[in-house]
Chain A
């Protein structure tokens, strides 16, 4: 039975969840959507972000979101370093795609194992004042545990979108995917640009990791659950489109939430990925993608 109350709340919950999914996917939207680098290890970097947030939060009590933003520059540096390795091994020799994919699979496993060896396998959680509280507007509830990540996700997406469209480096990033030679002719070094973009992608992982551990408990293998979702969101939204990715995230979140509420949660993944499948069949470029 469909009551207005239930429906409104299902949509609200879906939107909040979808925003969070977008924050998880945005790093990949940059790296994969703009640069065609299949970084399947992106969720693993997010888990590293979660662990950083947990360590600082449990030692000093700082807010996880602030921690995420504070360590983002460090993650940026990490991203740059990894890209240089990837470039030296693959892009320079023209091996991309498949080899790059295998490389990142390897990186994903190494990250997971190092986390296990250093921190063990117990679930980690964070404390923050807003976890457990709810903001109610009429009969619609917005748990702060979901609302705060949603708000941060919106801000993050907005910031990245503005960066990519307004700054020189940002536009260079968009350009390097479209036409590498033209970019060189314009005086920008494609390698430096891609390096910067990859660093940016990993930097978002720091923030997304903080959001993840606010929402629920984290342990090293949790990243694997998000591999499918992040690629689905980037492809659904359209390669190269940040706003498309955000909307795709919202769509995925709302579908999951509606199916959960009205049909049965166990069908949610099938519906979500079925929608992805349909999109790929009918319009492979995704919602907003360049053709």
Chain B
């Protein structure tokens, strides 16, 4: 024991130092053990307010179900999964900030995209620079400019997304006798609708149809009667519409009210897949042929999808989102499934290994077999063309089961024949 005050201080200092070092070693050892329980963080932005929030909120519910399912089975690589997300409010300007926060500050391990081309594109430069794997949720041709090889789009548009989108619609027209000749194309002045219309235009020209009406309308249009009337005045045999939910409703109602006479009507109308809109339009939907990605038809009864939908529908009650959840939620579940399966299979979080695995594997998901091809799009298109049939008035439950949305195309998933023409 020292017998001077300076000695005491020195002794105390060394003792303290030893304690600190000891504590640090203990913490490190404990930390290594805790590393096992440190969660795997998956980061993303999602539209929880603004124009795309209807889909975004439903997608989030589906993603939380996936997280819970995975954690119940022990997590990924033995670690629990945690979702880290922020609302991008459907504003592209918010996306770069959110993704840099997720990556640089929150230090997430994996990232996935938000919903919609407008909200996927702003993240791409950041993702590409950091060379991260990027599963993406529903953006039409979002990778066409970037050509990023670690981008994986879960929407089954197909290798040429902009034309594959409407190819089936025009193929159905081709099969009819006599072959219809004239096409009217109308679309909302907004990103997705215009891209769908551009694809339709290309398909129509390639297959030898004559385009007799080709116009766009502002998304804030209130009354669609003049537009439908102007279309009718050109007497088209096919009417292809690219629209967003409120305009889809407006177009279908206007078509019924003025008695639109054409042989094939529909195409790229977003919103006709949503439960509240289907219930409200009811019999006005009969005969419309529109795109969709999953419907409860017997040909699409994939393993796990009904269990998922049951969980989704229970979670979605009273949350102000689509009560049935057939459109986006199964795919929101699937784009995480694909990522999770890749992590488990490669036993790593290395983005290079994950990308390589995802590029060559065929995954089994709740939306069936998923294989990515050119540019991260699906190797084969599975954009369904479905026709509404026998829809009754004011009945939501009828859409929960088969028979109301008959799949006409592609052939592998066909569950019925086209009722043609629409209205003479």
Chain A residues proximal to chain B, CB less than 8 Å: 1, 3, 6, 9-10, 13-14, 16-17, 20, 116, 119-127, 131-134, 141, 143, 145-146, 215-217, 219, 221-222, 225, 256-258, 260-262, 264-266, 268-269
Contacts and interface: CB of A to CB of B under 8 A. Distances in A.
A120 B230 contact: no
B220 A225 contact: yes
14 contacts: A6-B229, A10-B226, A10-B229, A17-B223, A121-B53, A127-B394, A131-B253, A134-B258, A134-B259, A141-B225, A262-B230, A265-B221, A266-B216, A269-B220
Contact of A3 (B223, B233, B280): B233
Contact of A123 (B54, B222, B223, B284): B54
Contacts of A219: 54
Which of A20, A122, A258 gathers the greatest number of chain B CB atoms within 10 Å? A122
Interface stretch (B167-175, B315-323, B330-338, B414-422): B315-323
A17 B227 contact: no
A268 B230 contact: no
Contacts of B223: 13, 16-17, 146, 215, 257
A14 B226 CA distance: 8
A58 B315 CA distance: 22
Given A13-B225, A225-B220, A264-B215, A217 B57 contact: no
B176 interface: no
Interface of B: 49-51, 53-54, 57, 189, 215-218, 220-223, 225-227, 229-230, 233, 245-246, 249-250, 253-254, 256-259, 271, 274, 276-277, 280, 284, 319-322, 394
Contact of A265 (B216, B274, B319): B216
A146 B225 contact: yes
Nearest to B232: A6
Nearest to A112: B49
Count chain B CB atoms within 10 A of each CB in A6, A127, A131, A260 and give the residue with the most. Answer: A260
- Would you list the 9 A-B pairs with minimal beta carbon distance, nearest first? A120-B320, A265-B217, A143-B257, A121-B53, A125-B280, A225-B220, A260-B226, A261-B226, A13-B225
A162 B394 CA distance: 40
A261 B249 contact: no
B119 to A, nearest CB: 15
B256 A132 contact: yes
Contact of B229 (A9, A116, A264): A9
A145 B227 contact: no
B249 A125 contact: yes
Give the one of A119, A120, A146 with max B CB within 10 A. Answer: A120
Contacts of B257: 132-134, 141, 143, 145
B280 A127 contact: yes
